[in-house]
Amino acid sequence: MTEQTPATAPSATPFLMFQGEAGAAMDLYLAVFGPHVPASELRRDLFDGSTPRGEEWAGKVSHGEIEVAGQRLRFFDSFTEHAFGFTPAVSLFVELESPEAVDALAEALTADCGQDYMPAGDYGFSRRFAWVGDRFGMTWQLNAA
């Protein structure tokens, strides 16, 4: 008897929903993480004018995927307006090779209205750690153990 392999293996992937800025977020994350960890765009499908928001939503991301440091992230621009966004209660934790990478990423992610929850420093549990929020509200914990 031959064992069948499912078309898609079971997985859990962070799904990041934006209100029209998913493409800009994908571009930012690829640009800032690329010099420090493997980062690549896997997919970027765009809406045409047939969404409930019409032509206004054409060109927004209907399904995007990037991979950062081996973690796949999915992106979506919701054409439905929501009264919520990202919260610091959930963040992506990124292990880095050097304290300098933590500093560079913390600076890049907080540029243009980002936020320092824990500025880059030695907090006793690692050589260098930072917890930051980017301009989209996504939070990142950056660590060089």
Domain count, the chain: 2
Q: Are 105 and 131 in contact (CB under 8 A)?
A: no
Instruction: Mark whether 18 and 68 lie in a shared domain.
Output: yes
Q: What is the CATH number of the domain that holds 28?
A: 3.30.720.100
17 plus 78 within the same structural domain: yes
Q: Residues 77-116: pLDDT tens digits?
A: 998 999 999 999 999 999 999 999 999 999 999 999 999 9
Domain of residue 67 covers: 13-82
**Distance between CA atoms of residues 6 and 70, nearest Å:** 22
The verdict on 17 and 76 lying in the same domain is yes
Q: Are residues 54 and 94 in the same domain?
A: no
- At 23-51, the pLDDT tens digits run 999 999 999 999 999 999 999 999 998 88
Look at strands 15-18 and 61-68 and give their pairing: unpaired
* 25: phi then psi, degrees, rounded to nearest 5: -65, -45
CATH code of residue 139: 3.30.720.110
Rounded Cα distance, 113 and 86, in Å: 15
104 and 72 in a single domain? The answer is no
Q: Are residues 46 and 90 in the same domain?
A: no
Q: What is the pTM of this model?
A: 0.90
Domain closes at, from 28, 61, 82: 82
Q: Does residue 8 belong to any structural domain of this protein?
A: no
